[in-house]
Amino acid sequence: MTVEGRPLEESELIHRAQRGDLVAYGDLVRGYQDVAIRTAYLACRDAAEAEDAVQEALIKAHRALGRFRPGAPFRPWLLQIVANEARNRRRSAGRRTGLALRVAEDRPSDAAAPSPEAAILAGEARETLLAAMERLAEDDRLVLGYRYFLDLSEAETAEALGIPRGTVKSRSFRAMARLRERFAEVAR
């Protein structure tokens, strides 16, 4: 779920893109545009802003491609640029809060079968959990959001947020505790 199953093809695309092949670059990043939009949206909470941030990040990533270490995972490297761009945009716009996350009307058709937990977390509990997430401070919200909403691995979350892996662990742990504290507040 976290790694695209085509490492050879991707390293070849990276190699070609580094040599100035724009078509290869397009192919390389096309597969990541969805997760890039989500990464940006979690940080800036504005659909149009997220789209702009991703576009700008893809331009910057192209410029920085020469510094990409061959063999390293590409996705978190790209997502770090996206996340930075989105956070910077939000900060420079002076906005502290964006649109609140909400549950989509319909589940995406390609979503995995509901887990047993989903059966427990129906309706109201789901809304409570989301509302509690929204009440967390940005750092806590992002670490949990990237880790669980976007299904990034611990290492990927660390790279996307530009923090050490150990910090992801400790921050997640504390964020979980603070999330629990919010349950009572939001459930009224």
Partner 1 sequence: MSGPLESLRAMTDDQLAAALQDLGRSVWFPPAPADLTDRVVARLAEAGSRRRSVVERWREAFGPTRALRRSLVLAIVALLIVVGLAAAVAFGLPGIRLIFVGATPTPTLAPSGPVTASPSAGSAASPTAPPLGADLAPGSPTTLDAARAAADYPVRVATDPALGAPDVVYLDGSGSLARVTFVYGTRPGLPLATGATATALLTEFRGAVNPDAFGKIIRPGTTVEPVSVDGASGYWIVGEPHDLLYRVPGADLWDPVRLAGNVLIWERDGLTFRLETSADKATALRIAASMR
Q: Which residues bind partner 1 (CB under 8 A)?
A: 19-23, 25-27, 29-30, 33-34, 36-38, 41, 47, 50-51, 54-55, 58-59, 62, 101-105, 107-108, 111-112, 114-115, 117-118, 120-121, 123-126, 128-130, 133, 144-145, 147-151, 173, 176, 179-180, 183-184, 187-188
Q: Which is nearer to partner 1, 72 or 125 (CB)?
A: 125
Backbone torsions φ then ψ of 181, nearest 5 degrees: -60, -30
Name the minimum Å distance from CB 144 to partner 1: 6
Q: 54 vs 158, which CB is nearer to partner 1?
A: 54
Least distance from C-beta 103 to partner 1, angstroms? 5
Q: How far is the CB of 146 from partner 1 (least distance, A)?
A: 10
- Can you read off the two tokens belonging to residue 23? 């078509």
DSSP-assigned letters across all residues of 120-170:
HS-HHHHHHHHHHHHTS-HHHHHHHIIIIIS---HHHHHHHHTS-HHHHHH
The residue (of 4 and 173) whose beta carbon lies closer to partner 1 is: 173
Residue 24: CB minimum distance to partner 1, A = 8
CB of 126 to partner 1, least distance (A): 6
Nearer to partner 1, 72 or 118 (CB): 118
Q: Identity (one letter) of the amino acid at 106?
A: D
For the chain, how far is it from start to end, CA to CA, in angstroms?
36
CA distances from 43 to 78, 95, 138 (A): 15, 11, 8
Contacts of 172 (CB under 8 A, 6+ apart): 143, 144, 147
